Structure 1
Amino acid sequence: MDFLNDTGWEARLFTGVIDDEQIGAWLVARATFEVDPSRGRLAPSEARWPVFHEKVDTRYGTFPSDNHPMHRGCDLVVLGRARCRQPAERCDASFSVGDFHRTIRVIGDRRWVRDARGELVASAPTPFTEMPLDWTRAYGGRAASHGEPVEHPLNPKGRGVCLDEASAEGVSLPNLEDPSMPIATWMDSPVPAAWGPVDRSLPWQLGDRVKQEGWGPGNEPGQERFNALVRTCTPAASVPRNVAPELRGDERVRIALGDDRWDFALPGFNLRVDVQVGDERFVRRTSVSGLWFLADTQLLVVTFRSRWRYRMRPRETRAARLHALSA
């Protein structure tokens, strides 16, 4: 299928075989904007984030490839740090889009230490002025069991995993926590929380769905039911808790990373795809599937998606044109 991009933004059309007769097509477009905090609006940026054909590593985490047809909601990602003007023991890093709000608690360095009664308790947080918001600061990491290394299944890059009390003493606690799941004892095992991207969201989504279904020991699903659950999971650049519902594209965005704050409105994106397959013509709208905020450079990367299917017939014209409509 021929593809014409009339937006001036990065865009790519992917196709894949569905069956003997049908082809699936999915379009991914990516726009990069400068955030003007004084005016509360976005301006086009000369910097351009491309569409990813393969996963991309950054110091804050790994973005997955865009080469997948299915996606739900809008991935929220922050690349950067929480900053405090004065040394603080804790602060919040939050991202709000419309009615959706997500907060991660940022805490200074702590360790498990013995109190006067000999019990393990968390030390007082060390005041900080900057804290990375990536997965190395979230709960997870590695520990040893019977002399063998054991990795946290969701976040092996993190910190805080303890397998027994004897080895827990002196272990660093995570700097990033979900406020609804604070760590109180060395035995606690919360879901890791951070703002960085993830390249494999399936294990996170499965964990969330299994919890929603109430499955557990003595209440395990059959293989067919579990496979059906797996099919409902879709690739994403964010963990499930950091995925907002589908956006209109004109929502208010508020980001607070410690004392650094941004408040602006999305400009009401109105992208569409005109598709021609032989004599058939149809239109597909795009949805906003990602808002990635680069705090150090104050850039917002917006990802759009659209998909459709068509029948493959030889010698027919097959073309798609991406363009923006007037607001």
Structure 2
Amino acid sequence: MRLVNHSGQPAELMQGEIVPGQMHGSVLTRLRCRLGPDSSLSLATGDDALLDLRRDRIEDEYGVIEPDIPYPRTATDVIVLADARCPGGPKVATKVGLRVGPYEQELLVIGDRVWERSLGAVTPSSPVPFELMPLTWAHAFGGPAQGPYGPVQHPANPLGKGYALDAGAAVGQPLPNIEDPQAPIRAWNDRPDPVGFGPYPFNWLLRQQQCVEIVPGPEREARLLMYPERGMFDRAHPRLSGQQLRPGDAVIVTGTSFAPRIAFALPPCPFELEIRIGGKTWVRELELEELLLDLRRGLVELSYRKLLKYPWVPHQRREVVLRIREPEATSHQAPIQA
């Protein structure tokens, strides 16, 4: 099968034979938009234009964006790269909110604190006022704890801070800056799940708990079972993955340095796929696989994928044509009020 790309956007057909005679594939494409100060979306051009899919890993303090692969997500991932900003100047705490369709998550962002000993108890110090805080995993709960034989990494977020194995070792150590307001840390041995909006790696615990199972066996042997359909290839935090977003769903972000409030509706998918196999033709829509908001740069990326499955027949004509739907719908939803 070959891909004919008339969309004007980067795209790729990824395919392989899973079982003999049965082909599986997917067409992946991506649209990058500029986010205006009024929450409008317009196609990114010039230096911001998207020229290719993700061929290499992109890594910085905000997380790791892995290269594109043939395997689909379970539904739509939501990833936000941003900084929290306190309105009106430095404060000891603020909140950042995210609501996208069925997803809703709020972060409590607090100034720097350490555990200190007071009246025989280990308690948090008073927060230091701040104005800007990067929403990174380094500021969320986790990190290394000091054990008897050296550092012990927190399996759900080895980059974070606040993880301690005993009260004495906790004294003088920092608390996380990013917390779940529904599960605030009150004691040194609290163990909340780390929360954040950035990409969440497959090999961290919250993802592993979903798609990996250890089955005990005889004589201390065990089998490792993996379930790809449970989110193995999802890229967002588990709280922001696994549910499908639809055109018209509200996207609302509050409390970031880009703008105090962003609000727009997801645009319709601008693409359609014409599938030609043998003498038959089908036209299908693509599903939104990832919504990535890079609020450091004011960019929004929408990734779309369509899965394909078909029998392999020698010398049969097989091609897919990716094109813009009519009427063209690449952007330009008006800001929404919510």
Q: Could you state the TM-score of these two structures normalised by the residue count of structure 1? A: 0.88
Partner of 1:7: 7
Question: What letter matches 2:49 in structure 1?
Answer: R
Partner of 1:227: 225
Question: What letter matches 1:285 in structure 2?
Answer: E
Partner of 1:243: 241
Give per-residue Cα distances to partners, 1:16-50, cap 9 Å, x unaligned: 22111011111211111111232x42111112344
Question: What letter matches 2:71 in structure 1?
Answer: P
After TM superposition, the structure 1 = structure 2 runs for residues 217-296 of structure 1, keeping only pairs within 5 Å, are 227=225, 229=227, 231-243=229-241, 245-258=243-256, 260-296=260-296
Q: Partners of 2:113 and 2:122 in 1: how far apart?
A: 12
Partner of 2:200: 198
Which deviates more from structure 2 when the two are superposed, residues 74-83 or residues 269-278? 269-278
The question of whether the paired residues in 1 share the 8 Å contact of 2:98 and 2:104 is answered with yes
Q: Partners of 1:120 and 1:139 in 2: how far apart?
A: 17
Alpha-carbon offset, residue 320 of structure 1: 1.0
The question of whether the paired residues in 2 share the 8 Å contact of 1:31 and 1:48 is answered with no
Question: What letter matches 1:275 in structure 2?
Answer: I
Q: Partners of 1:58 and 1:68 in 2: how far apart?
A: 24
Specify the SS of the correspondent of 1:136.
Answer: helix
Partner of 1:48: 49
Q: Partners of 2:10 and 2:255 in 1: how far apart?
A: 28
Which deviates more from structure 2 when the two are superposed, residues 24-33 or residues 239-248? 239-248
Alpha-carbon offset, residue 188 of structure 1: 0.7
Give per-residue Cα distances to partners, 1:225-246, cap 9 Å, x unaligned: x837565333122011122621
Provide closer, same or farther for how the CA distance between residues 202 and 288 of structure 1 changes in structure 2, counting only shifts above 3 A: farther
Give per-residue Cα distances to partners, 1:151-203, cap 9 Å, x unaligned: 11121111111011111001101111122221111101111111211232674
The question of whether the paired residues in 2 share the 8 Å contact of 1:183 and 1:190 is answered with yes
Q: Could you state the TM-score of these two structures normalised by the residue count of structure 2? A: 0.86
Alpha-carbon offset, residue 68 of structure 1: 3.3
Alpha-carbon offset, residue 80 of structure 1: 2.0
Partner of 1:36: 36
Provide closer, same or farther for how the CA distance between residues 22 and 209 of structure 1 changes in structure 2, counting only shifts above 3 A: closer
Structure 1: gaps spanning 5 or more residues: 216-222
The question of whether the paired residues in 1 share the 8 Å contact of 2:74 and 2:230 is answered with no
Partner of 2:89: 86
Q: Partners of 2:226 and 2:132 in 1: how far apart?
A: 43
Partner of 1:219: none
Specify the SS of the correspondent of 1:88.
Answer: coil
Q: Partners of 1:287 and 1:82 in 2: how far apart?
A: 30
Q: Partners of 2:190 and 2:151 in 1: how far apart?
A: 19
Specify the SS of the correspondent of 1:204.
Answer: helix
Specify the SS of the correspondent of 1:249.
Answer: coil
The question of whether the paired residues in 1 share the 8 Å contact of 2:210 and 2:230 is answered with no
Which deviates more from structure 2 when the two are superposed, residues 164-173 or residues 264-273? 264-273
Alpha-carbon offset, residue 109 of structure 1: 0.6
Q: Partners of 1:36 and 1:69 in 2: how far apart?
A: 32
CA RMSD of aligned residues (A): 2.6
Partner of 2:157: 155
Q: Partners of 2:154 and 2:265 in 1: how far apart?
A: 38
Give per-residue Cα distances to partners, 1:54-85, cap 9 Å, x unaligned: 43223310012321323122211111211123
Count of residues in Structure 1 that have an aligned counterpart in Structure 2: 317
**Do residues 105 (structure 1) and 128 (structure 2) align?**
no
Partner of 2:336: none
Question: What letter matches 2:236 in structure 1?
Answer: S
The question of whether the paired residues in 1 share the 8 Å contact of 2:278 and 2:316 is answered with yes
The question of whether the paired residues in 2 share the 8 Å contact of 1:277 and 1:316 is answered with yes
